[in-house]
């Protein structure tokens, strides 16, 4: 490669990488190989990847180089490497969802999102580790080992998409894809010092996304900068006739918004309910500083009350398990995936029971049991029905808030990354990691987490959450881009440059 851009390839942003490839300053193959070498060097420590597709990545990179050599125009992310959460189907390479239930399964088709990435010329490096079937906040529930946080490998990288966030923070990929059911993109982003976005529900196709909770699951972009997230968002979003919940509407102008870096005249609401007991002092300190920064940048800041948000956590842990108990019923040992005990002497029911016992981990079993109980005769109205009523109240709180403000802000998660194992035996403590993120999933609106500094107690990253109305995703990028630019100017570098070297 030439020395026109002296920064090591793995430290480039996605936008810089795509620009260098388009100008011929570096080949897509060189970029892919640099990231594959990085994975080979550090992933034994991090465990961000479950499967690395070396051959496929280099073939995709060669196709980009050939296209450029022919003089064809390249897309804005052509040749950029990406780490894909192992919950999206990928034709020809494994999709396990972090579970023994799907160990060795090779899908015969690509998810719509996977296909759109390929069409955009993105180079998929491989599939990333995750909490089993996306159920967890720490990536400790994977059947294939725990992922470490690159800031401190003894701590969690968040969940369920900890592998995608860790791959970014470890400079194994400049882009990643996650899914967000209750905070599984934003919470890992917060604790790894990266950017994570939950798009409006229905704006990114769920076709080929292995379902956990169908009314909550949403794929979205993970990146190291707001602009990179916007570029990825634009590549994957848009209507899909294969997804019955897909919104048939134009994608908001997220890239343009990310480049604005101007919040003058915007009204920003601080959610009163997201503070107080249980919030780490350093997290609140960085959040308060972020709010003051928004004022300095010309935004009007007001306090907003959303009283039903305090009921979001219990409502979510009735709705999501109920839907998962239905969705995971397909893993019956008959059609695909694991089969245990089929020795010719057992009934189908016995084989199904033995397979589920062996194939599902403790957290998945816990949620299936919770959901089945909540949906059972005599309890449906008291539990699932009541939770759906709370969901309506939360949506109304959002509607009332957005009638007076452009976006809402809060901490992304109440604490920084906690030590691996600290909450493993305490499900309620684990669930509290999603306290601030869950309301947006229940309402279906858009939300982002971006890094706003380190907590003074432990020098670990803190995330700022920005929440926008449905189909107003561009507001996330406008506010996030302005905050990111101001902080980088203040620090003289990006936050990840402070991360300890692996």
Is 322 a residue of the active site? Answer: no
The distance of Cα 22 from the centroid of its chain, to the nearest Å, equals 28
User: For 198, phi and psi rounded to 5 degrees?
Assistant: -100, 105
SS3 445: coil
What dihedral angle (degrees, nearest 10) is formed by the CA atoms of 401, 405, 411, 412?
80
Cα distances (Å, whole numbers) of residue 152 to 156, 179, 195: 8, 23, 18
Q: How many CB atoms lie within 10 A of CB 313?
A: 16
User: For 289, phi and psi rounded to 5 degrees?
Assistant: -65, -35
Residue with tokens 């029905």: 385
Whether residue 294 contacts residue 409, with contact meaning beta carbons closer than 8 Å, is answered with: yes
**What DSSP string runs through 135-163?**
--SSS-S-TT-PPPBTTBTTB---SSSHH
Q: Which of 27, 85, 127, 308 is catalytic?
A: 85
Region label for 265, one of left (φ > 0), alpha (ψ between -120 and 50) or beta (otherwise): left
Question: Minimal CA–CA distance to 82: which of 15, 2, 175?
Answer: 175
Whether residue 178 contacts residue 199, with contact meaning beta carbons closer than 8 Å, is answered with: no
Question: Minimal CA–CA distance to 187: which of 395, 464, 429, 494?
Answer: 464
Question: Minimal CA–CA distance to 19: which of 59, 55, 68?
Answer: 68
Q: Where are the beta strands (DSSP E) in 175-264?
A: 175-179, 195-198, 219-223
Is 85 a residue of the active site? Answer: yes
H/E stretch holding 166 reads helix 162-169
Q: Which of 184, 203, 246, 308 is catalytic?
A: 184
Q: Which of 27, 137, 142, 160 is catalytic?
A: 160
End-to-end alpha carbon distance in the chain? 25
- Residue 67, class by beta-carbon neighbours within 10 Å (0-12 exposed, 13-18 middle, 19+ buried)? middle
Is 198 a residue of the active site? Answer: no
- Residue 253, class by beta-carbon neighbours within 10 Å (0-12 exposed, 13-18 middle, 19+ buried)? middle
Give the per-residue SS3 of 247-294. Answer: CCCCCCCHHHHHHHCCCCCCEEEEECCCCCCCCCHHHHHHHHHHHHHH
Whether residue 348 contacts residue 334, with contact meaning beta carbons closer than 8 Å, is answered with: yes
Please state at what angle helix 473-491 crosses helix 226-236, rounded to 10 degrees.
160
H/E stretch holding 78 reads none
SS3 203: coil
Q: What are the residue numbers of the active site? A: 85, 160, 184
């Amino acid at each position: 490669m030439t020395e026109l851009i002296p920064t090591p390839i793995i430290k480039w942003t996605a936008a810089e990488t795509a620009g260098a490839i388009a100008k011929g300053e570096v080949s897509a193959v060189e970029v892919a190989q640099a990231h594959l070498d990085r994975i080979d060097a550090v992933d034994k420590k991090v465990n961000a990847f479950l499967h690395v597709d070396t051959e496929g990545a280099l073939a995709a990179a060669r196709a980009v180089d050939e296209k450029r050599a022919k003089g064809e125009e390249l897309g804005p992310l052509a040749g950029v490497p990406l780490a894909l959460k192992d919950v999206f189907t990928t034709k020809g390479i494994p999709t396990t969802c972090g579970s023994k239930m799907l160990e060795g399964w090779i899908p015969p088709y690509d998810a719509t999102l996977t296909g759109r990435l390929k069409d955009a010329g993105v180079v998929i490096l491989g599939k990333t580790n995750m909490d089993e079937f996306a159920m967890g906040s720490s990536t400790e529930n994977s059947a294939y080992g725990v992922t470490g946080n690159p800031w401190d490998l003894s701590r969690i990288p968040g969940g369920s998409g900890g592998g995608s966030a860790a791959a970014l923070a470890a400079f194994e990929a400049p882009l990643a894809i996650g899914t967000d059911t209750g905070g599984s993109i934003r919470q890992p982003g917060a604790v790894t010092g990266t950017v994570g976005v939950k798009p409006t529900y229905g704006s990114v196709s769920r076709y080929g996304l292995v379902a956990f909770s169908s009314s909550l699951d949403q794929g979205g972009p993970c990146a190291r900068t707001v602009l990179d997230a916007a570029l990825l968002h634009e590549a994957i979003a848009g209507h899909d006739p294969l997804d019955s919940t897909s919104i048939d509407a134009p994608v908001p102008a997220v890239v343009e918004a990310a480049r604005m870096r101007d919040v003058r005249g915007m009204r920003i609401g601080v959610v009163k309910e997201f503070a107080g007991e249980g919030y780490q002092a350093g997290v609140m300190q960085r959040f308060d500083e972020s709010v003051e920064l928004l004022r300095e940048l010309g935004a009007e800041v007001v306090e907003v009350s959303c009283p039903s948000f305090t009921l979001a956590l219990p409502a979510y842990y009735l709705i999501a398990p109920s839907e998962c108990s239905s969705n995971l019923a397909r893993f019956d040992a008959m059609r695909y995936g694991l089969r245990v005990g089929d020795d010719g002497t057992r009934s189908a029911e016995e084989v199904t029971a033995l397979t589920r016992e062996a194939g599902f981990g403790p957290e998945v079993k816990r949620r299936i049991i919770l959901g089945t109980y909540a949906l059972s005769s005599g309890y449906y109205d008291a539990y699932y029905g009541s939770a759906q009523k709370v969901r309506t109240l939360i949506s109304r709180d959002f509607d009332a808030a957005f009638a007076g403000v452009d976006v809402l802000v809060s901490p992304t998660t109440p604490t920084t990354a906690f030590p691996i194992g600290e909450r493993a035996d305490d499900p309620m403590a684990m669930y509290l990691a999603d306290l601030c993120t869950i309301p947006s999933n229940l309402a279906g609106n858009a939300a982002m987490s971006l890094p706003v500094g380190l907590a003074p107690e432990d020098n670990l990253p803190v995330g700022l959450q920005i929440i926008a109305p449905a189909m107003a995703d561009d507001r996330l990028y406008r506010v996030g881009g302005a905050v990111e630019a101001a902080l980088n100017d203040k620090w003289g570098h990006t936050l990840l440059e402070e991360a300890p070297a692996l």
